[in-house]
Amino acid sequence: MTRLHLPKFSLGVGDRFAHQAKAQLQACVLAKGEGVDVTPVWNKSNREHLIIGSSPKETRAAADVAVREFGWTGAYFVDADHINLENFERFLDPCDFFTIDVADQIGTAFNEEEMEKFIGRHPELQGEISIPGIQDPFRTDKAFVMQVAKQFLAAVQHASKIYQEICAKKGEGTFITEISMDETTSPQTPLELLIILAAIADEKVPIQTIAPKFTGRFNKGVDYVGDEKQFAREFRDDLATIAYAVNHYGLPENLKLSVHSGSDKYSIYKGIRAGMQEFNAGVHLKTAGTTWLEELIGLAEAGGRSLNLAKEIYATAYAHADELCEPYEAVIDIQRNKLPLPAEVHTWTSDQFVRALRHDQDDAAYNRHFRQLLHVGFKVAAKLGQRYTDILRENETIVARNVTQNLFERHIRPIFIGS
Ligand SMILES: [Zn+2]
């Protein structure tokens, strides 16, 4: 059976209001101009669809139009991001990439019998495990494997159930499968990843990407917070582990890591690229809200009533900060006392607004609290409805330039091109 295949380098692009597909694709066109194939994957989670009141069909339509207008002949996909058993149905037709989210099932009711079977099937997971590329062998015992299985087996089996349901309705091989475990509290070590991959292989889920939780904090739209060296070490060990698991458990040969909340993590891109080069590995980098922030930057740059609208969005977001932050608690860090007051922002020039928002850490005017609040503030723009989208359309050129440059210069270049 031939299976839809995800190329080595891929970029998840989120497009909250379905107006930037062309500007996003343009970033991949620029990469191609430098001889590097980067596959765009339009991702939008159920959570974002609900907040905006949009549907996966619209994401598909915007992607198709952009691809057609550019004459893009490369692969591209539409990702049902973070779906589960309750909400996958409406993604079936428009999507050909499914990110099955089982973070909620981690550590839940495990079945003793299933666990014994798993342990029995995998004597190789006990004792000494030497993974090429990782210097010291891992040493494990039955108790350790059981402890990991207790955490993850139910989650993997649940993912398998969702995968089977999608297969039954869509047909095997007609979509890319990712399993995500990133929105949970503790990071997974390379050894845990190996055990999880063994369980996924048992279930015969042909995953092409997996999103573990990495060490450190991946806050939305801002840089990585954590030990960059430790991240780089674990990332390369994860790559070694994946290569090993592909060989030992017959997982798809193009299986790669998916980095969620991957936008704007400038301080770890070097480590990611170094690991990719060492193992000749690919990566899937998911970015989403970074594009909506570029829309706001474009509007602020345009000045006049567009700038006023950006200010209005901030003032409303400021007034509703609790409600806006709540669904994103695990992935933002906003110090309220570092947020400028709306009255102050009201007096800002176009340049002041742009500099506070644009992700340039060398600029003293950059404010990551301001940026994060606006990141989760897309609901405010969604509520403005046509008032927002009309103004986006009026400023298409200036917005598109920001969207493309951000994806190409700040994301594609450091990770996939490296210069
Ligand atoms: Zn995610």
* 6-54 pLDDT, tens digit each: 999 999 999 999 999 999 999 999 999 999 999 999 999 998 999 999 9
Pair (44, 147) in one structural domain: yes
Pair (25, 63) in one structural domain: yes
Pair (351, 206) in one structural domain: no
Specify the pTM: 0.96
Give 347 Cα–ligand 1 centroid separation in angstroms: 36
Yes or no: say if 249 and 236 are a contact pair by the CB < 8 Å rule: no
Give 211 Cα–ligand 1 centroid separation in angstroms: 8
Task: State yes or no: pLDDT of 393 exceeds 90.
Answer: yes
The total number of structural domains in the chain stands at: 2
Give 27 Cα–ligand 1 centroid separation in angstroms: 22
Give 263 Cα–ligand 1 centroid separation in angstroms: 11
Pair (63, 125) in one structural domain: yes
Pair (151, 189) in one structural domain: yes
Pair (394, 353) in one structural domain: yes
1 part of a folded domain:
no
Domain of 371? 292-398
Give 81 Cα–ligand 1 centroid separation in angstroms: 7
- Determine the pLDDT at residue 1: 66
Least confident among 100-114, 281-295, 340-354, 391-405 = 100-114
Give 265 Cα–ligand 1 centroid separation in angstroms: 14
45 part of a folded domain:
yes
- Determine the pLDDT at residue 419: 78
pLDDT digits (tens, 9 = 90+) for 125-157: 999 999 999 999 999 999 999 999 999 999 999
Pair (209, 64) in one structural domain: yes
Give 181 Cα–ligand 1 centroid separation in angstroms: 8
Give 376 Cα–ligand 1 centroid separation in angstroms: 14
Give 316 Cα–ligand 1 centroid separation in angstroms: 26
Pair (259, 322) in one structural domain: no
Pair (205, 340) in one structural domain: no
Pair (284, 312) in one structural domain: no
Give 401 Cα–ligand 1 centroid separation in angstroms: 26
Give 42 Cα–ligand 1 centroid separation in angstroms: 13
Pair (244, 380) in one structural domain: no
CATH number for 115: 3.20.20.70
Task: State yes or no: pLDDT of 399 exceeds 80.
Answer: yes
Under the banding of pLDDT at 50, 70 and 90, the label for residue 186 is: confident
59 part of a folded domain:
yes
179 part of a folded domain:
yes
- Mean pLDDT, rounded, for 313-327: 96
Give 128 Cα–ligand 1 centroid separation in angstroms: 33
89 part of a folded domain:
yes
> For residue 66, what are its two tokens?
């952009």
Give 183 Cα–ligand 1 centroid separation in angstroms: 6
- Determine the pLDDT at residue 327: 87
Q: What gap in Å lies between CA 140 and CA 192, rounded to an integer?
A: 11
Give 82 Cα–ligand 1 centroid separation in angstroms: 7
Pair (376, 348) in one structural domain: yes
